[in-house]
Amino acid sequence: MARNKTAQGGISLRRKVTAWLAAILLVTMLSTGIATMAGQWTVRSFDTLLADNAVCYTVQNALKDEAQAFARYVRQPTSETEQAYTAACTASEQSLAALPLDYARIGEERYARTWNLLQGYAGYRQERDAFLQLSPSADTYIGQMYHVMALQDYLAEYALRLTQATLEQENALYSSTAAHIRHLPWLYLGLFLTAAALMLLLIRVLSRAVVRPLLRLAQASRSIAEGDLSSPDLPVKSNDEVGRLTGTFNQMKHAMAQQLTTQQALHREEVRNLALEKDLEHTRLEVLKSQVNPHFLFNTLNMISCMARLEDAATTDQMIVHLGSLFRHNLRTKRQQITLEEELDGLEDYIYLQQMRFDGRITVEKSIRVQPAAVLVPSFMLQPVVENAYSHGLKSCEEGGRILLRAWMQGKVLVLTVADNGKGMTPEELDAVQTKIAQSEQTGRSIGLGNISRRIGMLYPGGKMQIYSRADCGTVVRFELPQTQQPEEKEETLS
């Protein structure tokens, strides 16, 4: 009941349309049923008339053929004329047997004439058969032959009268049937006009109840799409679904207007906050870089490297050189974005140091299918991810492991993945990591994956970072960075 009636108690649109369609369907089915029954009745009536006429004419022709075959056989009694005579007699008996003898159907007169014909043929058959037993030299042969021929004439007369009675009865029946049939077109026309009137009325009701309100809704929707929210409210003229839809549309328009005003104010505030956040992020990065005095650090590392060479410690010397190069890469630029080539250069030094730490049991492979100098990435992006792979994914794997770094383009989007075949994370651990990243994006207190995700959101509209992991199957970190800027010229590096 709640679905079929409106909140105000009015009849729903579905019930209105269902009622009209049921009425049209009823009239159509009634018209079809009457037409079908009338057609079948007419066909049966005419079939009966034609069948009765055909039987009567068959009897007439059969008796005529028998009389002719009898005459030929009497004049020239050969085997051929005898066969023709026997076949004619059989046809006469079969045609007489096919005559209808139902008193209730054929009536008194046809019944009486049919009975006379059948009895007359039975008597004629006895006389005919008795004559054929006579010898042509018998004294009564000629007289008996003329007597049989006279009986044949009587039978032909009886058959003709039966045909006439059948035609008279069927003419009366045809006249009665035709009188009824002449009224059928008017009945069909009346039913058709009734169905057409109901259909036109339904179309008018649907137009007023559905089409016109929907057209007004469409026009108002186009106005809203064009940014015009000042148009007057649409009138609500019914309590059905369309009326409620119109009322809801008016409420939605007012809510949209209020929301648009609020969003404009929030957008202006968000723009100001975004500018402040970028400044704050830049300051945070600068503070991080300035925690160690670059010149002091590089001079100290150079001095240690010289001492290692003097002591013939080549491996120690190379480790110090790579460490210095790593610090130089991380501190040499103030840009938020650098080329992938620069990021990979710094990553090489870090990987060398980790290889020395893990004694080469962890291998790093790269598949770079882009021009590294032609695409931009956030500075200091890959090293924290690779560090997590070493520290959390592969550190406890005694048999060693593998890290795969891949880069390719999907249209104008740079896709970077860092995958390892370490211990991976359970769904609970992965949810905890993602929750921590989301919290760090809001507070801005983390300098790990949360910091990277936050900087991607600031520097790359539409960019994102995703983490996929399964226990004992490793972890994959995927970056999608839309490339909308060209790389800048490299800054002077620290010596």
Q: CA-CA distance, 283 to 451, in Å (whole number)?
A: 14
Residue appearing with tokens 């055909």 = 54
At residue 394, the 3 state secondary structure works out as helix
Of 357, 318, 326, the closest CA to residue 343 belongs to: 326
Q: What is the pLDDT of residue 405?
A: 93
Residue 101 contacts residue 114 (beta carbons within 8 Å)? yes
Please, are residues 279 and 336 in contact by the beta-carbon 8 Å criterion? no
> What is the number of alpha carbons within 13 Å of residue 114 lying toward its C-beta?
21
Q: How far apart are CA 69 and CA 347, in angstroms?
A: 124
Closest CA to 155 of 230, 96, 84: 96
Nearest to 419 by CA among 385, 453, 372, 456: 385
Please give the pLDDT value at position 276.
66
Can you read off the two tokens belonging to residue 364?
A: 């790093």
Q: Is the CB of residue 480 less than 8 Å from the CB of residue 408?
A: no
Handedness of CA 13, 18, 23, 25 (dihedral sign): positive
* Residues in contact with 462: Cβ distance below 8 Å, sequence separation at least 6, in sequence order: 480, 482
First to last CA, the chain: 84
Taking the chain (495 residues) in consecutive chunks of 10 residues, what is each chunk's mean pLDDT? 45 71 76 72 68 83 90 89 91 89 83 88 89 86 88 88 82 69 74 78 73 74 72 71 73 76 79 71 59 53 61 62 61 75 85 76 89 89 86 76 92 92 87 84 67 86 88 86 78 45
Structure tokens at 483: 């490339």
DSSP string, 220-236: HHHHHHTT---SPPPP-
Q: How far apart are CA 270 and CA 278, in angstroms?
A: 12
Alpha carbon distance 438, 447 (integer Å): 13
Measured CA to CA, the distance from residue 159 to residue 59 in angstroms comes to 7
pLDDT in the model for residue 225: 74
Which amino acid belongs to residue 69? A
The bridge status of strand 413-420 relative to strand 464-470 is unpaired
Half-sphere exposure of 182 (CA within 13 A, CB side): 6
Q: Under DSSP, is residue 248 helix (H, G, I), strand (E, B) or coil?
A: helix
Closest-CA residue to 213 (of 246, 240, 252): 246
At 222 the pLDDT is 77
In this prediction, residue 493 carries a pLDDT of 45
* pTM of the full structure: 0.39
Is the distance from CB of 195 to CB of 27 less than 8 angstroms? yes
Phi and psi based region of residue 9 (left: phi greater than 0; alpha: psi -120 to 50; beta: remaining): left
Tell me the Cα Rg of the chain: 55
